Chain A
């Protein structure tokens, strides 16, 4: 079976990458075929923990229009159809320019341009998908990385998602928040693990995320990180909203210091290893229940 499990959060810095790399290693220990695709393209740092050897980078390009002013009649059709105001034209001085930062590569300008050859398209690099090799397990992991200064994360995430592999459990580390880049990862996941911390910010942002996944019909459960801290608002929220708690990770100095040294926690801390086995069995239960229901139809 091919599974896609998204690891997401409303707020940044709650422990998505920690959960992703530790669940990845847990599944390896359990002998399950597992793949990891880091789609947190603004800060893909799962490999800081997994320490795979970089084996190559595939560019992610988008096509942007290029206007030949010898052919262009300055009719203004392209400016009219561009929904993103990415073409600037001043008819009186025969001036036209593509604002590449605003272009979303929809292709409307070249489609509607009445002059053959006036608009051609050329690639612009948005980011890369990096391949990492792990010799200990003879396996690959992948990470999408957005180029500095670029704003469009979704095309890079789409390309990274191509690395989702058949007959494996695919863990996909999502960008934080509830906007398009995060939804690009969550929308087709079989299950989503939401990592949350019980601070006022964490509770507030988880609430927004819960509203979002409900609206999008995304099946999700919560991992509470630093679960023994906070003022009880997190537990109250999860109870009020009737959300599954998939695991609770404690707040401990040993966890923080090993994390800071770049360890995968399940490699070194038995207590954490146990927690992640529980997390996986809870997630597997959700996935199996899914199958059972599907098979009965």
Chain B
């Protein structure tokens, strides 16, 4: 399974970004290979529709589950229709702490 976490920077000790569509980075953890890859969220630069575009990008990467602080209405619709499970995390915390729970 691949889990995405929105991230403020591109290292394991960086904090979760609580925005989904406009997050700086997308950390993708593969539970089989136990590896984390950081992808720059290009959708962030869009004037509108960054949520659905980020969702589409996650689907392209084969992500099954995404964790963030909040999901906008358009992002929610898109993620739902793509079958990507959404998890809302209340506290901004380091990416490695979140990944730790999947190990």
B81-100 interface code vs A (CB 8 A; 1 in, 0 out):
11000000000000000000
What is the interface of chain A mostly: helix, strand, loop, or mixed?
mixed
B85, chain A: closest CB distance, angstroms: 15
* B81 surroundings in chain A (CB, below 8 A): 95, 97
Contact call A84/B49, Cβ cutoff below 8 A: yes
Determine the residue in chain A with the shortest Cβ distance to B59.
Answer: A90
Using a Cβ–Cβ cut-off of 8 Å, how many residues does chain A contribute to the interface with B? 14
CB contact under 8 A between A102 and B56, given known A88-B78, A90-B82, A95-B82: no
Contacts beyond the supplied A88-B78, A99-B49: 14 A-B pairs with Cβ under 8 Å: A84-B49, A85-B43, A85-B48, A85-B49, A85-B52, A88-B55, A88-B56, A92-B60, A93-B82, A95-B59, A95-B82, A102-B48, A102-B49, A102-B52
Docked Cα-Cα span, A84 to B48, in Å, equals 6
Residues of A in contact with B (beta carbons under 8 Å apart): 84-86, 88-93, 95, 97, 99, 101-102
Residues of B in contact with A (beta carbons under 8 Å apart): 43, 46, 48-50, 52-53, 55-56, 59-60, 62, 74, 77-78, 81-82
* A84 surroundings in chain B (CB, below 8 A): 48-49
Task: Give 14 CB contacts A-B under 8 Å.
Answer: A84-B49, A85-B50, A88-B52, A88-B53, A88-B78, A89-B56, A90-B59, A90-B60, A90-B82, A92-B59, A93-B82, A95-B82, A97-B81, A99-B77
CB contact under 8 A between A90 and B56, given known A85-B46, A99-B74, A99-B78: yes
* B59 surroundings in chain A (CB, below 8 A): 90, 92-93, 95
Determine the residue in chain A with the shortest Cβ distance to B52.
Answer: A88
Docked Cα-Cα span, A84 to B50, in Å, equals 10
Contact call B60/A101, Cβ cutoff below 8 A: no
Docked Cα-Cα span, A97 to B52, in Å, equals 10
A157, chain B: closest CB distance, angstroms: 20
Most buried by B among A86, A88, A91: A88
Docked Cα-Cα span, A61 to B47, in Å, equals 24
Closest 3 CB pairs of A and B: A85-B49, A90-B59, A102-B49
Docked Cα-Cα span, A86 to B52, in Å, equals 9
Docked Cα-Cα span, A236 to B94, in Å, equals 54
A227, chain B: closest CB distance, angstroms: 40
